[in-house]
Amino acid sequence: MTTTDKPEQAAEVGDDGTRRQFISWVTLGLMTTASVASLRPSPTMAIYGLAAIFLYLLPAIVFLLPTALVGAELASGWTGGIYRWVSEALGKPLGFVAVWCQFAMTIAYYPSLLAYVASTFAYVIHPSLAENGLYVAIVIVVIYWTGVWVSSRGTKTVAGLSSFGLIVGTLVPGVVLVALGIVFLGQGNPSAAPMTADHWLPPWTGLASLVLIVNNFLSYAGMEMNGVHVSSLRDPRGEYPKSIFLATGLVLLIFILPALAISWVMPAKELSLTAGLMQAFQAFFDHFHVGWMTKVVGVMLVCAALGGMLTWLSGPAKGLVLLSRQEGYLPPFLQKFNKYGVPQNVMVAQGVLTTLIGVLYAFSDSVSSQYWMFSVITIQIYLVAYLLMFVAVVVLRRTRPDVPRGFVVPAVTIVAGVGFVASVLALVIGFVPPDQYDTGPLWRYLLVVGGGLLLLGIAAPAAFLKFRKPSWIHPDHRDPAGPVDPAA
């Protein structure tokens, strides 16, 4: 999940003398690709070998496309993001739940992201550390709090790190990985995973054998964010679908090809969810007698991941605080900004929870299983926001048909319905432990995953809504006519 720079736009003067800015559908497609594509989930799907193609395509059809189309209609009709969309359709309390989930998912997301950073960096200093829980826990805590300090200083250079990360940490390593894999096979080396036609579909040994597909829902999250630019297209109805199909094709290539390359050189049983990418690079580089390149790629991937983390660190928190100042959803203490305009108190509170989660890695026998559980919590919390978004678009089509929309989803009930059902299934499947990794006793897995979803995604926003007070509204936003009803 990354952000993009402001697109280059072409200006035209309309008949009324106003100046409009346009972007091409190709530009929007590339922007959307940059906001979604990443190499981090590749090891998860590499475990399935050739079947990774099917497991990427299925969620792309039932989740990626619906979120992109629905997001475009909502963004072209209402400004303000998911809070405005859900509030207009379902009321402000559920609007707060949606925006809260977008923030709360980062509490579980950062530990899993930094576990990947720790395992990747281990290949720069000592590969055996990649599965060392204590080392991973230390890296998570140190890097997260360093990131909070950097972000709290309002560093302007943080904004440009995402573009750097896309090129240095995604495109270049991805192309190198796939090229090495093709040469590897071209030399006559056997693939570690079968590449025959009878392996197009994943082996079915029960629902637990397919659980890792849930990770793709997190991989595709964020596709709807660029829907805000749909009004910058000359012909939104004709060009937006083309930009989405272009982005979908590119995203699939960036996800699928590296996953296949990893499966060619790394047996599934030896693959780590956090260090799988570096395992593949090391195997390829050792094979071609350039093992020193492993450290170089490791540094590139770490820099990209850290750039993405810093870019995201204060964004969701700042949006939540700004909204809470207007509506009084958070206590005044959590609404404060420091002198750099950064919501430092919320970030510190978030950091305490992130630290507690990170410390759990020190007591885990398997970094991969711990990484998976917190990835699932992240996905499930985020899916709550998507469920509300899919309902909102259908409700608004019926209750607010008069609102002009730059893009209208064809057969919106079917499209949103497919996305809603797919999200529900992904949420439910996440409660099933995967066959590929030992996550410990079932009760512990359900306690961690279910407890994370219940506490962060449901109980926390419900508590803020229940105990919300009119005095929590920031003085700059209070209505002089009288207090606001907290139940409104």
Please, which residues have CB within 8 angstroms of residue 9's CB and are 6 or more apart in sequence? 21, 22, 23, 232
Q: What does the pLDDT read at residue 284? A: 94
pLDDT one-digit tens code per residue, 322-347 = 888 888 999 999 988 888 778 888 88
Q: Which of 241, 237, 224, 231 is nearest to 393 (CA)?
A: 224
Q: One digit per residue, pLDDT tens: the chain, 488 residues?
A: 444 444 444 545 444 444 556 778 888 888 777 767 788 888 888 988 999 999 899 999 999 889 988 988 888 888 778 888 999 999 999 999 999 998 898 888 888 889 889 999 999 999 889 888 899 999 999 999 988 887 777 655 454 555 555 567 778 888 999 999 999 999 999 999 888 878 888 777 767 667 878 888 888 887 776 666 777 788 887 788 888 888 888 889 989 999 999 999 999 888 888 888 999 999 999 999 999 999 999 988 888 788 777 767 767 788 888 888 888 999 999 988 888 778 888 888 988 988 988 888 888 778 888 888 888 999 999 999 999 999 999 999 999 999 988 888 999 999 999 999 999 999 999 898 887 667 778 888 899 899 999 999 999 999 999 998 888 888 876 544 444 433 33
- Report residue 368 as tokens: 């991969």
Longest CA pairwise span in the chain (Å): 79
Helix, strand, coil percentages for the chain (3-state, nearest 5): 75, 0, 25
- Can you tell me the distance from the alpha carbon of 107 to that of 114, in angstroms, rounded to the nearest whole number? 12
pLDDT one-digit tens code per residue, 357-400 = 888 888 877 888 888 888 899 999 999 999 999 999 999 999 99
Domains of the chain: 26-468 (1.20.1740.10)
- Can you tell me the distance from the alpha carbon of 307 to that of 294, in angstroms, rounded to the nearest whole number? 20
- Helices 236-265 and 276-287: angle between axes, nearest 10 degrees: 60
- The separation between the first and the last C-alpha atoms of the chain, rounded to the nearest angstrom, is 33
- Report residue 125 as tokens: 């200093």
Q: What residue type is assigned to position 413 of the chain? A: T
- Can you tell me the distance from the alpha carbon of 32 to that of 250, in angstroms, rounded to the nearest whole number? 10
Q: What does the pLDDT read at residue 423? A: 94
Q: What does the pLDDT read at residue 157? A: 46
26 touches 229 (CB < 8 A): no
- Can you tell me the distance from the alpha carbon of 226 to that of 214, in angstroms, rounded to the nearest whole number? 23
35, exposed or middle or buried, with CB in 10 Å at 0-12, 13-18, 19+?
buried
DSSP codes joined into one string, 49-113? GGGHHHHHHHHIIIIIHHHHHHHHHHHHH-SSHHHHHHHHHH-HHHHHHHHHHHHHHHHHHHHHH
Q: What does the pLDDT read at residue 482? A: 40
147 touches 306 (CB < 8 A): yes
Cα-Cα-Cα-Cα dihedral of 450, 454, 457, 460, to 10°? Answer: -150
Full-model pTM: 0.83
Q: What does the pLDDT read at residue 4? A: 40
